[in-house]
Amino acid sequence: MNTKIEDLIIYKQYLELIYYTEMILEKYPKNERLSLVTNIKNNTYEGMKYVISAYKGYSKGEKMDNLNHLDTNFKMLKVLVRLSYKRRYINSKNYTAWSKKITNLCNLLGGWMKSCQKL
């Protein structure tokens, strides 16, 4: 495998998710900076850690463990984004765009998981 991680579509789209997330979180009220904002940031960065770990994993089991953790991260991130919308920290346009980015990543993740199961 001669592919660099920077060439992976999921890596590039995850970086876009991070940039978008950082931009949106600036709009949150100050009283949420130490709770919801921190949870969203931590969850997002932890997800990137799992992308990198899965890419670097040598065994099928190691890759699948990281991809399963990433899947859990995405599910939690969806909950946090939904909560942000319900609390009116983001508008429906932001909610739709953010959710779409996460869903696209989930689809890429599903494909990656299927390809690992075939190994």
pLDDT of amino acid 2: 63
Domains observed in the chain: 5-118 (1.20.1440.60)
pLDDT of amino acid 36: 96
Model's pTM, two decimal places? 0.91
pLDDT of amino acid 119: 63
Residues of the chain with pLDDT under 50: 1
Q: Long-range pairs for 57-64 at CB < 8 Å and ≥24 separation?
A: 60/116, 60/119, 63/116, 64/113, 64/116, 64/117
Coil, helix or strand at residue 30 = helix
